[in-house]
Amino acid sequence: GEAARVQMLTGGENDAVWAATDGGGARKFMEHGQITLEFSQAVGNLNDFVRTVVTDQDGSVWFATPVGAERLLERSWFNDPINGLQTSAFGDPNLNDIRDLLVDGSGDLWVATGGGVRHKRGLTYLDSDEIFRADNSNLPEDTVETLAQDAHGAIWAGLFDQGLARYQDGEWSTPVVSTELPSAIVTDLQVQGDTLWIGTALGLARYDLQNNALTIETQLAGSVIESLALDRNGKLWVGTRTADIWQLQNADAPLSNAERWRVFRASTFQALAGLAAIPAKIELTLAAAPPELNAETNAGMWAAIDRVGLFQWDGESWHNGDPEGNLPTDFLWTLYSDLHKPVLWVGNEGGVTRFDGESWGTLRDRDGLRSPSIYAIAGTDEGGYWFGGRTGLSYYRPEQSAPWVHLQGTPGGAQVLAETDQPVAEAGRQLTFKLAYGDLLTPQDELKTFYRLTGANAPQVFNNWREFRPPLAIAFDDAGNYAIEFRVRDQAFNYSDVQVSTLTVEPAARVVKVPWLGQVPRNTFQTLVALGLVALLGFAYVSMEIVQGRRRVAEAMIRSYNPYVSGEPVRREDMFFGRHNLLQRIIDTLHNNSIMIHGERRIGKTTLLYQLASRLEEVEDPDYWFVPIFIDLEGTRQETFFHFLIEEIVHKVQNIDSSAELISAMEQLHYHNVARADYTDREFNRDLRTILRALQQHSEAHHPGKQLRLILLMDEMDVINGYDHLVQQQLRRIFMRDFAATLGAVVAGIQISREWDRIESPWYNLFNEIEVEPFAREQAIELLVEPVKNYYSYEPAALEFIIQQSEGRPFRLQQYALEAVTNMLAASRRRIKLTDVQAAHRSIQSSTNHAHQDEGLLRTVAASTQ
């Protein structure tokens, strides 16, 4: 950009230098000028005209600007890597794929990554880390899944498929031979005194650190161990891939003794979550209950089960840990208990969520997180927290300044008695309480407000704090004296002082004078009025519905209305049934992730992609502008793969707007000048970058404040199974580039090949998998009944026959319904009978048999010509 005049220079922490500029915001120079951070209107929302920079005793940085003082909590957030910073170590993205975090006894941070082990001494950037890999140390491999520190100070690393390694006295070694473990894939580690518990993909082992002896826990043989944790009584808990949770009851009992382990089966959590079944390939993590979150016992435990929920063990039984649905997603990856204070952290696909026993709050990438999904959490002695995910590392230290709150005037609906200056209200009358509140750092729309009722007359259910959005509207049914308490919480979980409003509620007037009836009890009068209104409205509504219903049915019979679709994807939204929850789940996940949906042929994957494209174009997301592009890959050859992708993208983008900027950008693409077979991933990346840049400019003009998210909806992804591994890796690298934050995908296929014999990660590891399963009974009934609800009806026997024959396959349900309605109309009826469905069954069976005969004939002819 253009040069800006420097107004002043001042020193900062750790030998940093701050520069205030006239028109360019502020700059921070670190590591002797090797690293520069920009703070301006474009980066950090700071005014571009900065006169002075001052650092206070709390580490906050203050900027003097023409519109006032602005504050940066520099010690609150630290991210590594920095957005846009290119360093020598940053070249390997696997170093920022965080698997686990460990703060050792001296306060240093150890980071398990997909590219080795990182050792950080303080808030330093990646280039300053001590990095251990297989090529520069005795670490057996680069992919490290978990870390632990034993009582002697040694660091233990659980590896992806090379067992276990130990770092001691500056060297890595392998004291335990990987072949002696239940599996060389180590999933979690837990230190308990002089015992190291080792979770693997085929069971649990314990290693005696004093005697160097290894023992296999026979009762867990063959189980995929997902998580290990100790409760505050020192008992070991083990979570498995099947969602079973084991507790070591008697460590002195023989290995095969049934009293050694207590098991909580997956059915317990399935019932608490209200699920028909536990999803396959779940991830499960455990954490001891922090103090005060289980104040009555030290045996408390929390369990997060991916796509199932959060659960709490109180020492006697399991409970739903999030009954009100405060977590932003059901993709739950990790738990961290702060054993020094009542704080539980939940790392999830939407960020990291905090629970302090009274309220919930989520930090997201827009709040400062480097990675939008959090896989690992570790706390520090000074009250800070490290968060790690697939794209880097963040350090967060909550600030300590509390918000404020005041009541504004007398509650609406109440009167103030002059002699007592006390608000008085009538029982049953709605009252409105208005608040003024704020915080020095947290924006008002992100502050949380709470209230509770106290006093002898307050219902017990209102004694706990409840979140609400001001103003508060509430009515008191019983006379008496009440106290309503209010408080506010900021993003760092600082609570304001409690503000109290006292109130006297008097009995309501007992009678109402009604013409011809005289004095009537108030409650009776209110009931009569309500019943009269309901009856009048009900009569009018029913009469209108009867008339309109008869007209609709008559018109439908005349034009032979048959809404079902057979043999092709459903494109109309009003004919899309049974998968709305799945569709919303995909949309909620697409902000920061890519999805792979798979399932058997004709199960509805293409329909799902069409509906997803339609919904994404219409969704009013507060943070993102989605640009969905449907791409059918069927029949696409490897040589023209990238050309075909860019062709579909260009076609869609050209239809968005005819602005000169977009047209100009499209004309600059290599796509116009390179032959199909010569168009490689190199040209594709350049063209895609140009398109994304043009769309971003369009977004800033037409969707201000929103981030671009280009979503490729690629159908028939099975075609890539036959492509060369190089092409598959080229596709993977596209989603790993610096513009990956604006690019996502939903790919669909029947069976994506998992055969992979190369060192680098396979392309499909980028995607969260979702299986499209056959319809449940309720979904099948919805698909059959809803399209004809206002026109025709089914006999129960007809409905049951279709459900039984279709086995939950949507295309079969549509096929039977289409044929049955045709038969019904031919008989001039509006009720679908069993005879109509049975005739449809015979027709479908006949068509299927003919198709099989034709297929067999073609195979015979083909064989005879060879």
What residue type is assigned to position 385 of the chain? Y
Whole-number pLDDT of residue 85: 39
* Full domain range(s) for residue 286: 224-363
Please say whether the beta carbons of 219 and 212 come within 8 A: no
322 belongs to a structural domain: yes
Whole-number pLDDT of residue 861: 46
Cα angle for residues 32, 35, 36 (degrees, 5° grid): 110
What residue type is assigned to position 700 of the chain? E
More confident residue, 407 or 294: 407
Q: Look at residues 749, 771, 793 and tell me which one is the last residue of a structural domain.
A: 771
816 belongs to a structural domain: yes
Indicate whether 123 pLDDT > 80. no
- Among the listed ranges 294-298, 514-518, 610-614, 692-696, which one has the minimum average pLDDT value? 294-298
531 belongs to a structural domain: yes
82 belongs to a structural domain: no
Tens of pLDDT along 188-212? Answer: 999 999 999 999 999 999 999 999 9
More confident residue, 67 or 317: 317
Contacts of 787 (CB under 8 A, 6+ apart): 563, 564, 575, 577, 817
Whole-number pLDDT of residue 602: 86
CB neighbours of residue 224 within 10 Å: 19
Indicate whether 237 pLDDT > 80. yes
Label residue 799 left, alpha or beta by phi (over 0 means left) and psi (-120 to 50 means alpha).
alpha
More confident residue, 592 or 616: 616
Helix H or strand E encompassing 26: strand 26-30
My answer on whether 254 and 357 are in the same domain is yes
My answer on whether 29 and 176 are in the same domain is no
My answer on whether 483 and 613 are in the same domain is no
Q: Quickly list H helices, 301-415.
A: none
My answer on whether 542 and 651 are in the same domain is no
Tens of pLDDT along 793-838? Answer: 999 999 999 999 999 999 899 899 999 999 999 888 889 999 999 9
Whole-number pLDDT of residue 418: 63
Q: Fill in the DSSP letter of residue 23.
A: S
- Among the listed ranges 26-40, 399-413, 709-723, which one has the minimum average pLDDT value? 26-40
Indicate whether 453 pLDDT > 60. yes
- Segment 487-513 shows an average pLDDT of 85
My answer on whether 230 and 219 are in the same domain is no
More confident residue, 55 or 553: 55
> Can you read off the two tokens belonging to residue 287?
């954490």
Tens of pLDDT along 765-788? Answer: 788 888 899 999 999 999 999 988
Please say whether the beta carbons of 482 and 457 come within 8 A: yes
pLDDT band at 166 (very low <50, low <70, confident <90, very high): very high
Whole-number pLDDT of residue 13: 74
- Minimal CA–CA distance to 589: which of 746, 726, 460, 477? 746
Indicate whether 555 pLDDT > 50. yes
Query: What does the alpha-carbon distance between residue 395 and residue 666 come to, in Å, rounded to a whole number?
Result: 41
My answer on whether 594 and 680 are in the same domain is yes
Please say whether the beta carbons of 55 and 12 come within 8 A: yes
Indicate whether 84 pLDDT > 50. no
89 belongs to a structural domain: no
Whole-number pLDDT of residue 547: 56
Q: Look at residues 728, 756, 771 and tell me which one is the last residue of a structural domain.
A: 771
My answer on whether 282 and 271 are in the same domain is yes
- The three-state (H, E, C) secondary structure of 383-439, written as one string: CCEEEEECCEEEEECCCCCCCEEEECCCCECCEEECCCCEEEEECCCEEEECEEEEC
- Segment 430-459 shows an average pLDDT of 88
Using alpha carbons, list the distances in angstroms from residue 52 to 1, 19, 66, 302: 22, 8, 11, 48
Q: Look at residues 162, 190, 223 and tell me which one is the last residue of a structural domain.
A: 223
- Segment 506-525 shows an average pLDDT of 66
> Strand (E) positions, 490-547?
499-506, 511-514, 518-521
Query: What does the alpha-carbon distance between residue 668 and residue 688 come to, in Å, rounded to a whole number?
Result: 11
153 belongs to a structural domain: yes
Query: What does the alpha-carbon distance between residue 299 and residue 295 come to, in Å, rounded to a whole number?
Result: 10
My answer on whether 228 and 214 are in the same domain is no
Whole-number pLDDT of residue 550: 60
Whole-number pLDDT of residue 90: 45
Q: Fill in the DSSP letter of residue 175.
A: S
Highest mean pLDDT pick, 30-44, 168-182, 494-508:
168-182
Q: Give the chain's domain count.
A: 7
My answer on whether 694 and 552 are in the same domain is no
My answer on whether 247 and 359 are in the same domain is yes
My answer on whether 757 and 717 are in the same domain is yes
My answer on whether 729 and 680 are in the same domain is yes
396 belongs to a structural domain: no
CA dihedral for 101, 105, 109, 111, sign (positive or negative): negative
- Among the listed ranges 65-74, 138-147, 392-401, 767-776, which one has the minimum average pLDDT value? 65-74
105 belongs to a structural domain: no
